[in-house]
Structure 1
Amino acid sequence: MTKYCISDLILEIAAPEWTLHDNLKLFSCRHGDPDVCCRVEFKKRPQKPAAGVKIIADTPGTMIYEDKGHIHNLSGDDHDIPSYTVASGDWFSYTMYIDPKFNNPDDDEIVHIVKDGIFASLRGVMIGRLAQKNGVIIHSSTILWQDRGIMFPAPSGTGKSTHAHLWQQLYHTPILDGDAAACRIADGTPVVYGLPWCGTSGEFLNQSAPLGAIVFLQQAEANSIIKLGLQESILRLAARCFLLPWNEGLMHQYLDTVQEIAARTDCYLLNCLPDAAAVELVKKCL
């Protein structure tokens, strides 16, 4: 079994080495009791759930149901990787099933597909487990500035990576993660963590720092910044978190954590152009 320490959670994976994404290597660890155990099996998925189970969601692309305290996610067909997952109700154990036809480490194309599929599914595992550990994953570019993490959440294409790179160019600030970062409440303090899931940016660090500020980005024809009140901060932050909306229990935990992060952090709305002046506006607030 291989262990990884991600956002101070130990993820233990039982899987062939060739199936694990290279981004995970930076988070490898040897010691610590697991917070979540994941297993990968090359096995055919069931065609339908057993009779009498509780259906949570049923769409053309997926079926989610609960059976004996476990959450089953049955995808549309065998071509999905994984095509079937089973998670314990507390998200401590998680099993991925992949069609045996993909068990071919000698085919480079298949290896690439399998690695990406498992890697994406592992993020879902961490989303669920983090929710139970006072944490969320936030869609943002995050920099390290004066020993604090500064998050720039925004929808894809808004310019969050561009803004983070401007800080890097002007002030040589490290980029903690170019696309998503975890945030957990530790002893009453929000702490941000780099993650192996970094989108197309390719930028991530296995580091953490106290959260200094959250700056929501919005494209505009002129630069301006305002400090947000608690209610708007909560709404904007919840919109930028990766969630599992079909799980009512986890949603309550997400929202409690989002509210606590927003209450303990200065949050701003930056209407901006992609220029150095926008950076200077933020810098004056920090």
Structure 2
Amino acid sequence: MTKYCISDLIIEIAAPEWVLHDNFKFFSCKNGNPDVYCKVKFEKRPGKPAAGVKIIAKTPGTLIFEYEKHIHNLSGDEHDIPCYTTASMDWSSYTMFIDPEYNNPNDDAIVQTVKEGIFVSLREAVIGRLAQKNGLIIHSSTILWQGRAIMFSAPSGTGKSTHAHLWQQLYNTPILDGDAAACRIIDGSPIVYGLPWCGTSGEFINQSAPLGAIVFLQQSKENSIVRLDFRESVLRLAARCFLLPWSNELMNQYLDTVQEITAETECFLLNCLPDFEAVELVKKCLQIT
């Protein structure tokens, strides 16, 4: 079994070494009781649930239901990886089922497919467990500047990675994570963590820092920046989080954490061009706060 420390959660995984994504090795640890215990099983998934189980969500491709104090996620396709998962109600245990035909460490294509499938699925387990620990994952490109994490958040394609790289060029700021970062309330303060999940950017480091500010980006023909009030900050941050929206309980936990983060954090809206002037506008605001 292998242990990883991700956003100060100890993740223990019972799985063959060959199924684990290379990004995880940067988060390896040896000590600590697991916050999440994960298992990978190369077994045929069980059939559809018996009548009378509590259906949580149903789509043409997915069936999510509650049974014996576990959340069951049954994919519509047995060839999905994983095709079936179960999680305890507090997300402290998580099991992934994969069709036995994929248990082939000698086929490079299968190995890569299995690694990617498990990699994505484990993020769901971390999202669920973070919700129990006053945390969430924010879609953002995050830099480290003067000992603080500055998050640039926006829909894909808006330019958050470009803006982070402009900071890197001007001020040699490390990029904590190019696509997503975890944020947890620790002793009343938001702390940001780099994650192994970094999208196509390939940029992440296993570090953490206090949250300094969240800057929401919008493309514009000219640069301008405004400080957001609490209500607008909550609405914008909630829209940029990775959620499991089929659970009312989890949604309430997410929204509580969003409000705690924004209550403790300066949030800005940056209408911007992809240029150094936009960097200087943000820098000036950060120096004032």
| TM, length-normalised to structure 2 | 0.98
- Match in the other structure for 2:5: 5
- For residues 170-223 of structure 1, give each alpha carbon's deviation from its aligned partner in whole angstroms, at most 9, with x where no partner exists: 000000000000000000110000000000000000000000000000000000
- Match in the other structure for 2:176: 176
- Match in the other structure for 1:279: 279
Counterpart amino acid of residue 260 in structure 1: E
Within-5 A mapping of 1:201-212: 201-212=201-212
- For residues 152-175 of structure 1, give each alpha carbon's deviation from its aligned partner in whole angstroms, at most 9, with x where no partner exists: 011000000000000000000000
Within-5 A mapping of 1:207-222: 207-222=207-222
Within-5 A mapping of 1:215-230: 215-230=215-230
- Match in the other structure for 2:257: 257
Give secondary structure in 1 for the equivalent of 2:51: coil
Deviation at 1:52, TM superposition (A): 1.4
Deviation at 1:50, TM superposition (A): 1.8
After superposition, the CA RMSD in angstroms is 0.5
Deviation at 1:47, TM superposition (A): 2.7
- For residues 81-133 of structure 1, give each alpha carbon's deviation from its aligned partner in whole angstroms, at most 9, with x where no partner exists: 00000000110000000000000000000000000000000000000000000
Within-5 A mapping of 1:114-153: 114-153=114-153
Counterpart amino acid of residue 144 in structure 2: L
Deviation at 1:51, TM superposition (A): 2.0
Counterpart amino acid of residue 168 in structure 1: Q
Alignment partner of 1:244 is 2:247 = no
- Match in the other structure for 1:52: 52
- Match in the other structure for 1:86: 86
CA distance in 2, matches of 1:51, 1:31: 43
- Match in the other structure for 1:104: 104
- Match in the other structure for 1:189: 189
- Match in the other structure for 2:26: 26
CA distance in 2, matches of 1:274, 1:112: 35
Give secondary structure in 1 for the equivalent of 2:214: strand
CA distance in 1, matches of 2:16, 2:73: 22
CA distance in 2, matches of 1:136, 1:153: 14
CA distance in 2, matches of 1:210, 1:34: 24
Give secondary structure in 2 for the equivalent of 1:131: helix
Counterpart amino acid of residue 215 in structure 1: V
| TM, length-normalised to structure 1 | 0.99
Percent identical pairs in the alignment equals 78
Alignment partner of 1:159 is 2:151 = no
CA distance in 1, matches of 2:228, 2:32: 40
Where does structure 2 lack aligned partners over 5 or more consecutive residues? none
The number of residues matched between the two structures is 286
CA distance in 2, matches of 1:251, 1:187: 22
CA distance in 2, matches of 1:142, 1:93: 29
CA distance in 2, matches of 1:131, 1:90: 9
Give secondary structure in 2 for the equivalent of 1:196: coil
- Match in the other structure for 1:233: 233
- For residues 239-271 of structure 1, give each alpha carbon's deviation from its aligned partner in whole angstroms, at most 9, with x where no partner exists: 000000111111111000000100100000000
Where does structure 1 lack aligned partners over 5 or more consecutive residues? none
Deviation at 1:45, TM superposition (A): 0.9
Deviation at 1:71, TM superposition (A): 0.2
CA distance in 2, matches of 1:126, 1:87: 11
CA distance in 1, matches of 2:50, 2:10: 33
